[in-house]
Structure 1
Amino acid sequence: MFRNYVKIAWRNLRKQRGLTFINIAGLAMGLACCLLIMLYVADELSYDRYNAKADRIYRIHTDVKFGGNDSKSAVSADPIGPMLKQDYPQVEQFVRLHQRGTWLVKRVGSANSLREENVTFADSTLFDVFTLPLVAGDPKRALTQPNTVVISESAAKRHFGNQNPMGQILTFDRDQNYKVTGVMRDMPVNSHFHSDFFPAMLSDDYQWGQWLSNNHHTYIVLREGTDYRQFEKNFDAVIEKYVGPQALQFIGVTLAKFRQAGNRFEFSLMPLTDIHLHSKETIQLAPNSDIQYVYIFSAVGLFILLIAGINFMNLATARSANRAKEVGVRKVLGSERHQLIGQFMAESVLMTGLAMGLALLIVAVSIPFFNTLAAKELSIRSLLSPYWLLVLVALPIAVGLLAGSYPAIFLSSFKPISVLKGKVNVSVNRSGLRSGLVVFQFMMSVVLIVGTIIVYRQIIYIQSKNLGFKRDQVLTVNDVYALGKQAETFKQEALRLPGVVSGSISGYLPTPSNRSGNSFFPEGKIDQKNAVSMQVWGIDHDYVKTLGMTMGQGRDFSRNFGSDSSGVILNETAAKLLGSSNLIGKRILQFTNPQEKTSIKTYTVIGVVKNFHFESLRHTIGALAMVLDANSGAASFRMSSTNLPALIGQIETKWKQVAPDQPFSYAFLEDSFDAMYRAEQRIGTIALTFAVLAIMIACLGLFGLVTFMAEQRTKEIGVRKVLGASVTSIVTLLSKDFLKLVFIAILIASPIAWFAMNRWLQDFAYKIDIEWWMFALAGLLAVGIALLTVGFQSIKAALMNPVKSLKSE
């Protein structure tokens, strides 16, 4: 029986090659999109699950509101991990991680250093918490001594080639030697952070025991059966016992009064497997993704598959007139209804099976391009796993059964007497369900178009917004600290080059970075009501000029004023929080060590710079203080040359003259700023790609429906032409019903798109307004595309010679 179903199904598919091609092509595109999105979502959901204890590992977060600053960060105080392990039996183990920027690393005896970004100080318990297998060394002892380091296999290859790295010495930043005590496998791609070097935490130069300074990423492993939500309740007692005394010493108030003033200090836990998609805290070890995008892409994949399935249902029911007599004859000859349903379902499953084969070919060809778009490393080989093989078998069967169910039930319901008398009316333009399905297809297409327009408008807004500084034509040279005392010499030599307008040396640039804050007080007002938490940047005399910032009050740092060594420039936010309209000449105090109230540094306000963005536009502009300090992290040069490659080459030559053994690394400030929004740019590009595909699939179905409709109405069109109907009137007759459906889809899609994109924009403190023209543009695009699709076939039918269509009558 089944063999007979397949044989007849194959004959019918071959008989109507045009509609079969449209159906299979649409289904294949829908299935290919669905598979790509499923691979993407599966990869996103897999992060950190490679760890054997993944379900028991939690990161400690800190939520602080104080001094005008409200921050939720992924870091915590350095003592909290050891204390929890000691005081609470529910804690099986802990580890602290501490990143401190890029490092210049070289093997002892090597002439040149390599710039390494993935360097993370770690406790010796690292391998008790995370599953990071060592290929050499003892995980229990590898990081128990100062000046030891565990490196990845990739790092070992870069620095030692084919030599055995064990026991060899690596020099960090020219003067810190570390002995290699372990080599680990490279960290999996699907990890929320990556590191090639883990120096022992015992080597980290840090003032330990600070409960009010949060600079370490602390992870704990809870014992089996421990409810982390219940365990979090212990943090209140921890804060009272350990944080309270330091807060009392620092600002002179108890925790109760601290909270009564509207301030907040809290710890919380986040499951390891939630970090990649759910953590929006600041100071992450690496950029995260967002669960929103998983939801969005999952919905897009489902909707594209539904659009393809709807095409099948529409075309199958539309061509039912051609199958009506077949159904009637089969029933007269004794076929039962369930047999007819089986026949039509077999056709549906066969078609989806063929579509799946074509979809796999599309995925194999397109996966490199998708990886580039999504910044992933997905592989077609993933589909060979038992799980994915089950999906590849089940998906076409499920889609075939669902998409073919309505046509099968509809076609098998024909009564043989009515069919054979020609009394069955299955006109393509009289099906309410079919109209609803067309509306749904274009509704989802319009939602995707609107979403794409808004994403791109937000990206353009970000790129064109006045940031309060001039980011174009600014070259930043990294790792200037490697020059030591020659840093200023390098700067002066570069300034002599034609095309270099000005230059500055500072480790602080107006791009997001993991920076900590300090508390400041107006002189004579050291209490929590007057505290202002702000970042402190060390800059030189030329920083403000080089980056094109504007002074609002007072003046910039000047070499003519020796007293500027104790001067400070505030931004407008900091000045406002300090509560004075004119702070010039007034003094503010900073505690350099929160544990010692006597450790106070006094600054005199010499200027207020107009606010500039130094964080992502998702955040409002925070308080900032800039002081003169020899921080040589990077050199920034404003340039006016039209031949930038040549000028960069000249600057590199100056670098090599000063430090021939150090790598020359540079970036443009504009590129560094744009890098913050690569995720949004990727989302916009992917959304555009899928919007185009959704429209194409919907139009394939529409094209098939119009083609079939024109075939059904061939004689009607011939009669109308004989009676004088124009081509325009016939095209209008054939098109108007479909265009009505598209207009209805636009009306339904507009509020849905507004709601979804308004939610997306809430993540940005600075964002565009959603305007009416965005929906109008999306609607015009949808109508235009539908009109082209319908119009092409309508004009073809209208131009047909009426003699040919009427000659059989």
Structure 2
Amino acid sequence: MIKNYFKIAFRTLWKNKGYSAINIFGLAIGLATCLLITLYVTDELSYDKFNEQAANIYRINSDIQVGGGKLHMTQTSDMMGAVLKKDYPQVKEYTRIFSSEGAKLVKKGDSFINEDRIVYADSSFFNVFTLPALEGNTKNALDEPNTVVITASTAQKYFDATHVVGKTIEVKINEATIPFKITAVIEDIPHNSHFHFDFILSMKNVNYEWGQYTSHNFHTYLLLQPGTDYRAFEKNFNQYIVNYVLPYVQQFIQISSIDELRKSGNMLEYSLIPLTKIHLYSDYNYELSASGNIQYIYIFSAVALFILLIACINFMNLSTARSASRAKEIGIRKVLGTERKTLVTQFLVESIITAYISMLIALLITYLVLPLFNDVAAKTLSLADLINITILPFIILLPVLVGLLAGSYPALFLSAFKPITVLKGNAQTGFKKSNLRNALVVFQFGTSVMLIIATIIVYSQLHYIQTTKLGFNKDQVLVIDRAYALGNNVNAFKNEVLALHGVNSATVSSFLPVTSSSRNDNTYSKEAVMDMKNSIDMQTWAIDYDYIKTMGMEIVQGRNFSKNFGSDSNAILITETTARLLGYTNAVGKNIYLPADDPKNKTMVPIPIIGVVKDFHFESLRQNIGPLCMRLANSSGLISFKISNGNANDLINQVENKWKALAPAMPFSYRFLNNSFDEMYRSEQRAGTIAIVFAVLAVFIACLGLFGLVTFMAEQRTKEIGIRKVLGASVTNVVAMLSKDFLLLVIIACVFAFPLAGWAMYNWLQDYAYRISISWWVFLVAGTAALLIALITVSVQAIKAAIANPVKSLRTE
């Protein structure tokens, strides 16, 4: 019996090659989309789960607001972890990660190599995280200063071997070169980790003298005892603030309780985030590596499901539409005694076989497009990732599910035919009257229209980001990283490059707008006595005399720093937002105050405001512009050059030659500021690209099904078309007759799709403080595009039917 099912199924597929091809190809595209998204989602959901104690590891996050300045970040004070472990038995272990700023260079031979993935960590780091050692003992590898743990690939890179414990490697951080003894070699950190390090230096080398509960510079992780409710444990943070943070804050600010701070509109809160949720759920600043976004997981999964449903709908529609061609076959089988359940089984077997053939083609499609998908999604996925214990059952069972889903209705529909009726030639397939079929077509095109709208809005927001006025000029700014490597030659290098043709201005600084540069926050006071009403927390940037000019910023009040004023070394520039938060309409000439460095000295140092800079976006457009000030200070982190349009490559070569003349052993590294700006929105660009691919696929599959339906409808109405042509109907009349019902369904699809897509994209845009408004033309363009695509699809086959010779269809009448 089973063998017979298969023989009939393959015979039927071969007999109806055209329609079978439409079904198989449509399902293959839908299944390939599912496979790609399954690979992507599985990889995203796997982050940090390789850690054996992942279920009990949490990171502490901080939310601080003082006078309008907001900090939403992944860092805490250096002492918080130790205090929590001492005071609360629920804390089994803690560890800290510290990433220093400035140049990070490692010596190989006679020259240095730029290395970004260098951090400091406690010895307990390896007690918390699962990072197996290939050589050495990680348990005490970082107990002593000047020790380092490196990864296997790093050992190969510098020593061409992994057995390197006991050897020394020189690391230059800022201006000091320190020899570190290698105490362990670990396996490379897996790609699905929220941090990626090549060098883990001993925390004993960190010269942090903050000792302040309000100085947040460390990523702190807690390993809680198994079974601990982390939400319940978070309630202890309030007591930590009262016992440790508040007494320190009271040395600077007149405040009686933490409630007073909160009632004044300010905030100091700590929270925990589970390790396995950091990659997808964290929206905190200063992550150790780029994060994912759980919203995109939901969106991509839903879209993949919709595309697969569209392909299944094609199968259902074509199968039921072509029911008349199998009516007599069914009638004869029933007369010969075949039971209905046998017919249902036969049709379901045909559906499942079609789905398995489609899956084989889908695997081929996935293999071919996976490199392109990796480029778009920034992944390193391979087809081998499908062959694992998690995904393999999905691949095996998905065709069965698809076959049952797509084949159930046609099987029940066809098997319900009454043999006497169909053998008399009176089977009513109800092509035009099938409400279910019409509803399915509406669903197909509704989904396609929603994807078109989403694509338009994503790209419109990206265009807005690219073209909005930022308050500074990001174009033609050449940035030289790690200027620390020049040592005392920073100004000499700057002046030599300034002399080159095409270089207009230059600045040395530690901070740049809209880049991953670190931030430096200080709490200032409007008055000489600091309390909750007068205080404001804001970023403080160290700049030089030429910074404002080079960045293309505008002074709207007062003046810039000038070498003609010796007192400017103690002066400050503020932004418009800062002036507004301070309550000043004319801030120039006013003072703001900064506490003395020594907590025991409660003197407030006055700092005169000499100018107000027009607001500029120094962080992502997802965030409102916050308070910022700039102070004149020596720095050697970054050198930025404003260059003219022209042959940038020649100029870069000249700049590199100047660098090598002054620092021959140091690596030369550069970037353009506009590229750093673009990097901030790389996830949106990837989402936009994936959205447009999905939209094209959805429209294509929907049109594929529509083409099949029109083809079959034209076959069914061949004689009617012939009679109409004999009676004088034009090609246009025939095309209109065949097209109007389908175009009406597309219009109905638009009616349902417009509000749903508008609501979904409105919510997506809420992630941006600065965003576009959704205009009516977006819906007009999407609806018109869907109608035109459907019209072209229908018209191709309708015209073919309309121009056919009517004699051929009527000669047997």
TM-score norm. by structure 2 comes to 0.98
Q: How does 1:598-613 map to 2 (within 5 A)?
A: 598=602, 600-613=604-617
Query: How far off is 1:596 after superposition?
Result: 4.3
1:716 is aligned to 720
1:439 is aligned to 442
**Aligned residue among 544, 550, 554 for 2:554:** 550
Residue by residue over 1:227-265, the C-alpha shift from the partner in whole angstroms, topping out at 9 and shown as x without a partner, is 111111111211111112112222021223222222221
Do 2:528 and 2:606's aligned partners in 1 also have CA atoms closer than 8 Å? no
Query: How far off is 1:625 after superposition?
Result: 0.9
Supply the AA of the counterpart residue of 2:225: R
Residue by residue over 1:180-223, the C-alpha shift from the partner in whole angstroms, topping out at 9 and shown as x without a partner, is 21211111111111111111111112124311122111100111
Residue by residue over 1:483-530, the C-alpha shift from the partner in whole angstroms, topping out at 9 and shown as x without a partner, is 111000000000000110000111110124331411111242422201
- Mapped pair 1:13 → 2:29: no
2:73 is aligned to 73
Say which is worse superposed, 144-153 or 95-104, in terms of deviation. 95-104
Q: Indicate how the Cα distance of structure 1 residues 600 and 119 shifts in structure 2: closer, same or farther if over 3 A, else same.
A: farther
Per the alignment, in what secondary structure is the counterpart of residue 800 of structure 1?
coil
- Mapped pair 1:146 → 2:145: yes
- Mapped pair 1:125 → 2:124: yes
**Aligned residue among 241, 244, 249 for 2:243:** 241
CA distance in 1, matches of 2:383, 2:684: 26
Residue by residue over 1:335-355, the C-alpha shift from the partner in whole angstroms, topping out at 9 and shown as x without a partner, is 000000011001100100100
CA distance in 2, matches of 1:595, 1:28: 69
1:311 is aligned to 314
CA distance in 1, matches of 2:178, 2:573: 34
Do 1:74 and 1:217's aligned partners in 2 also have CA atoms closer than 8 Å? yes
2:58 is aligned to 58
- Mapped pair 1:621 → 2:625: yes
CA RMSD of aligned residues (A): 1.3
Do 2:102 and 2:484's aligned partners in 1 also have CA atoms closer than 8 Å? no
Do 1:718 and 1:802's aligned partners in 2 also have CA atoms closer than 8 Å? yes
Q: Indicate how the Cα distance of structure 1 residues 592 and 619 shifts in structure 2: closer, same or farther if over 3 A, else same.
A: farther
CA distance in 2, matches of 1:163, 1:705: 64
Q: Indicate how the Cα distance of structure 1 residues 595 and 407 shifts in structure 2: closer, same or farther if over 3 A, else same.
A: farther
Do 1:101 and 1:117's aligned partners in 2 also have CA atoms closer than 8 Å? no
Q: How does 1:29-68 map to 2 (within 5 A)?
A: 29-68=29-68
Residue by residue over 1:291-343, the C-alpha shift from the partner in whole angstroms, topping out at 9 and shown as x without a partner, is 10000001001000000000000000000000111111100000000000011
Query: How far off is 1:377 after superposition?
Result: 1.0
- Mapped pair 1:392 → 2:395: yes
Q: How does 1:673-752 map to 2 (within 5 A)?
A: 673-752=677-756
TM-score norm. by structure 1 comes to 0.98
Residue by residue over 1:253-297, the C-alpha shift from the partner in whole angstroms, topping out at 9 and shown as x without a partner, is 122322222222111111011111111112211221111000000
Say which is worse superposed, 25-34 or 65-74, in terms of deviation. 65-74
CA distance in 2, matches of 1:258, 1:710: 76
Query: How far off is 1:102 after superposition?
Result: 5.5
- Mapped pair 1:765 → 2:778: no
Do 2:114 and 2:667's aligned partners in 1 also have CA atoms closer than 8 Å? yes
CA distance in 1, matches of 2:601, 2:777: 58
CA distance in 2, matches of 1:181, 1:716: 87
Per the alignment, in what secondary structure is the counterpart of residue 249 of structure 1?
coil
Query: How far off is 1:29 after superposition?
Result: 0.3
Q: Indicate how the Cα distance of structure 1 residues 427 and 710 shifts in structure 2: closer, same or farther if over 3 A, else same.
A: farther
1:210 is aligned to 212
Do 1:212 and 1:594's aligned partners in 2 also have CA atoms closer than 8 Å? no
CA distance in 1, matches of 2:79, 2:771: 40
CA distance in 2, matches of 1:385, 1:313: 32
Residue by residue over 1:650-704, the C-alpha shift from the partner in whole angstroms, topping out at 9 and shown as x without a partner, is 1111111110110110000111111101110000000000110111111110010
Say which is worse superposed, 572-581 or 665-674, in terms of deviation. 572-581
Do 1:107 and 1:160's aligned partners in 2 also have CA atoms closer than 8 Å? no
Q: Unaligned 5+ residue runs, structure 1?
A: none
Aligned length: 808
CA distance in 2, matches of 1:401, 1:797: 34
Query: How far off is 1:594 after superposition?
Result: 7.8
Query: How far off is 1:598 after superposition?
Result: 3.3
Query: How far off is 1:163 after superposition?
Result: 7.3
CA distance in 2, matches of 1:610, 1:208: 33
Q: How does 1:632-651 map to 2 (within 5 A)?
A: 632-651=636-655
Say which is worse superposed, 66-75 or 687-696, in terms of deviation. 66-75
1:520 is aligned to 524
Do 1:123 and 1:201's aligned partners in 2 also have CA atoms closer than 8 Å? yes
CA distance in 1, matches of 2:534, 2:66: 10
2:661 is aligned to 657
Say which is worse superposed, 459-468 or 154-163, in terms of deviation. 154-163
Do 1:554 and 1:606's aligned partners in 2 also have CA atoms closer than 8 Å? yes
Do 2:252 and 2:530's aligned partners in 1 also have CA atoms closer than 8 Å? no
1:571 is aligned to 575
Q: How does 1:244-255 map to 2 (within 5 A)?
A: 244-254=246-256, 255=258
Q: How does 1:104-119 map to 2 (within 5 A)?
A: 104-107=104-107, 110-119=109-118
CA distance in 2, matches of 1:105, 1:115: 5
Do 1:55 and 1:272's aligned partners in 2 also have CA atoms closer than 8 Å? yes
Query: How far off is 1:452 after superposition?
Result: 0.3
CA distance in 2, matches of 1:739, 1:379: 41
Do 2:135 and 2:163's aligned partners in 1 also have CA atoms closer than 8 Å? no
Supply the AA of the counterpart residue of 1:256: D
Say which is worse superposed, 420-429 or 83-92, in terms of deviation. 420-429
1:172 is aligned to 172
2:357 is aligned to 354
Per the alignment, in what secondary structure is the counterpart of residue 71 of structure 1?
strand
Q: Unaligned 5+ residue runs, structure 2?
A: none
Residue by residue over 1:724-744, the C-alpha shift from the partner in whole angstroms, topping out at 9 and shown as x without a partner, is 111000000000000000000
**Aligned residue among 215, 223, 226 for 1:224:** 226
Supply the AA of the counterpart residue of 2:534: N
Do 1:215 and 1:516's aligned partners in 2 also have CA atoms closer than 8 Å? no
- Mapped pair 1:788 → 2:788: no
Query: How far off is 1:103 after superposition?
Result: 3.6
1:406 is aligned to 409
CA distance in 1, matches of 2:602, 2:134: 50
Per the alignment, in what secondary structure is the counterpart of residue 288 of structure 1?
coil
Say which is worse superposed, 744-753 or 592-601, in terms of deviation. 592-601
- Mapped pair 1:276 → 2:275: no
Question: How much identity, in percent, do the aligned residues show?
Answer: 53
Residue by residue over 1:728-780, the C-alpha shift from the partner in whole angstroms, topping out at 9 and shown as x without a partner, is 00000000000000000011000010011011100000001100100110111
Q: How does 1:337-376 map to 2 (within 5 A)?
A: 337-376=340-379
Supply the AA of the counterpart residue of 1:344: F
Query: How far off is 1:641 after superposition?
Result: 4.2
Do 1:641 and 1:647's aligned partners in 2 also have CA atoms closer than 8 Å? no
- Mapped pair 1:320 → 2:323: yes
Residue by residue over 1:118-152, the C-alpha shift from the partner in whole angstroms, topping out at 9 and shown as x without a partner, is 11111110000111111122111110111211111
Query: How far off is 1:364 after superposition?
Result: 0.6
- Mapped pair 1:430 → 2:429: no
CA distance in 2, matches of 1:91, 1:48: 20
Do 2:450 and 2:757's aligned partners in 1 also have CA atoms closer than 8 Å? yes
Do 2:528 and 2:604's aligned partners in 1 also have CA atoms closer than 8 Å? no
Do 1:102 and 1:117's aligned partners in 2 also have CA atoms closer than 8 Å? no
Per the alignment, in what secondary structure is the counterpart of residue 772 of structure 2?
coil
Supply the AA of the counterpart residue of 1:387: T
CA distance in 2, matches of 1:35, 1:700: 21
Do 1:345 and 1:404's aligned partners in 2 also have CA atoms closer than 8 Å? yes
CA distance in 1, matches of 2:354, 2:774: 42
